[in-house]
Amino acid sequence: MKFKKNDIVQVITGKYKGQQGRIIKVYPEKDRVIVEGVNIINKHERPTQENPQGGIMKKETSIHSSNVLYVENDSPVKIGYKFLDNGSKVRYSKKTNNILD
C-alpha cells in the first residue's frame, strides 16, 4: 500500500473526481482508503447511549486506492519506492524525485 494515514490525495475517477482530501483510515488487506469528505453515504442509526436521538447520519465510506493519487505542491503525482544508500526503503515522488515523509 503506497498511501498512509494523513496523506493528502486527489480522487481521479468517479462521482467525486477532482476532489482532494486527507486520508482518515487505510485498509491494506482490502487495498482501500477512507478520504475525508469523499464518498459520503447516509447511514440510518438506531438510538444508543452516545446518540440517544438516533436518525440519519452522513458518513464517509472507503474507495479503492487505485482511484486516488498523492498530492504534492497542489498537483497529483505517482508514488514509487526506492532504497537509499544506507539500505532504508523510502517513498518518493516519480514526478519531482523528492523523498516523501
Q: What is the mean pLDDT of the chain?
A: 95
- Whether the pLDDT of residue 101 is over 80: the answer is no
pTM, two decimals, is 0.84
Which amino acid, one-letter code, is at 57? M
CA angle 51, 56, 61 (to 5 degrees): 100
For residue 77 the three cell numbers come to 503525482
pLDDT band for position 1 (cuts 50, 70, 90): confident
Distance CA 95, CA 73 (A): 11
- For residue 37, being part of any structural domain is answered with yes
* CA distances for 28 relative to 1, 2, 15, angstroms: 6, 9, 23
For 10-39, write each residue's pLDDT tens digit. 999 999 999 999 999 999 999 999 999 999
- For residue 101, being part of any structural domain is answered with no
- For residue 41, being part of any structural domain is answered with yes
Which residues form the domain of 58? 8-46+53-93
Half-sphere exposure of 99 (CA within 13 A, CB side): 7
Question: Which CATH number does the domain housing residue 83 bear?
Answer: 2.30.30.30
The pLDDT value recorded for residue 89 is 95
- Structurally, the chain folds into a number of domains equal to 1
- For residue 40, being part of any structural domain is answered with yes
